[in-house]
Structure 1
Amino acid sequence: MTVRTDLVTAALSRATARSARAAEVTRTTFLNDTIAYAARLIRDVLPTAAAVTVDTDEKELHEVRDADGETLWHAPISGPGHKFNDSLVDDVDDLLREAIPFGGLAAAGWKTSVKGFPYRDIQLPEPPPATRHARAYVRHEDTVLDVHANLVPADRPSFALRDRFGNDMRETRDRVRAAILNAGYDWPDGQLTVDLHGAGEPGSVADLAIACAILAAAGHIAPAALKRTALLGELGLDGRVRVTDQTRAGVRFADLCGYRRVIVASTAATTCPLIPGGAVHGVLDLRQAVDLLAQPFTD
């Protein structure tokens, strides 16, 4: 028997399926974010905490353990004066009561405990490093710059961009920030400081290197991927990579400096000189540059 479906019904069916998939993703994200938040609260007083067990019926924390499986805290109490006091436990339990009713626990990695139902074991995410550092490189005629990006956890996010003399580069800072956001990346939380070291005036040719150093410090690019790579390009507010003056000469100079990979605007790549044993890559925008840097490169 042939089942006929009108166009409106088919469209509604597809929309429902898309919404269901989006809801599943959102639910998993919500559970992961809840555990990350709970982990932060727990580690404030139990810094070696690595896993927890949750009573999903009561929607309460049952136990906290370290990486060796040793119990650091268990319900209802672990003795008088314990650092993980009732107030902190209540804060974590409030988070669990908000998240557990949404379901999807198995999909989020909440495994059934050896204690059996309703207990679930959850590995806490690794704590973020105290400071994240990345370094990118600009080699362009008389401009020889190393871009250092440092991201430090802080309650109030901030962003400072300074040239080699310590002067604030406000226009470049605003342009790079807009490009990163419009390319679809979240702005990193914390205190972000970017310093330029070297010689020559940075100009807009350093935009791409600054943005990639920031994204590497934020974890979107492995900092090691920036080694032996020169980045030459101005960024538009929309995240597109624009050609700068004398890009050909800049690629030649980067080659002489020993850089095996150079990333430039796509409109300039075909006219640039070849790098023996290396490569010149053209990218349309910042996201393409990040995708390219994520690929292995050997020379």
Structure 2
Amino acid sequence: MVDRTVGGSELRGDCASCFGLCCVALPFARSADFALDKAAGQPCPHLRGDHRCGIHTRLRDEGFSGCTVYDCFGAGQKVSQVTFGGRDWRTGSREDARRVFEVFPVVRQLHELLRYLTEALALPAARPVHAELREALERTERLTRQTPGELVALDVAAHRQEVNVLLLRTSDLVRAGFGGGSAKGGRKKDRRGADLVGARLKGADLRGASLRGACLIAADLTGADLRGADLIGADLRDADLTDADLTGAFFLTQPQLEAARGSAGTRLPESVTHPAHWTARR
């Protein structure tokens, strides 16, 4: 039975059913997130023969914190087991492997959309657009099951834009219940794409705020009220969420939280969990 709940098995990475695609297909550059440079299509030197990470339990200590905050939203197993029928990229031709690595980022984007659409359908306030959201969900799921050639040719940016229109309408409906939305009085809570790097927002009232795509790197959100906030695409790397209240916040993913700091006192939506590296602060 397909688990289409937020964070369900279909929308959560299952490394045991994947051929280490994120460790090969994607590039990364030496930085605070990665200890070395790696080109797209080049296996990470820590990828073992069984497609598992050789330093998985030491990623942060070894300088690969970027890996700890990545989630394919289930695209890895979809491409490995469905799109390519369980064929390991290591056993085929170089051209076969190249096609796998081209398809994976496309399906990953589609699975991310599936995750947001699934969450939107679980939000009672979004009921006025549930029919359209359900249609978009079904259409996106069909796209993930296309042939490799069709997936590579897909204009995924155009599809994302179509879905985003619905997600924006969902955001307005949900945030209106928290004093946000596009109605009168809610515009001051629109911080879409805002540059809030290192911002001092301790105890800030951000109920119903739109923080879509906002850059909150190293922002101090200690004790901030983020109830009902839209956090889709917000960059929370090293943001301090200690004792913040994110109850009812939506479009918040586990990778975003893994990149942030927090405490046992941080209140979260039911769709995500406290990261293991968070510790209670006194």
Greater relative CO (CA pairs within 8 A, separation 6+) = 1
TM-score (normalised: structure 2): 0.25
- TM-score, length-scaled by structure 1: 0.24
- The structure whose Rg is larger is 1
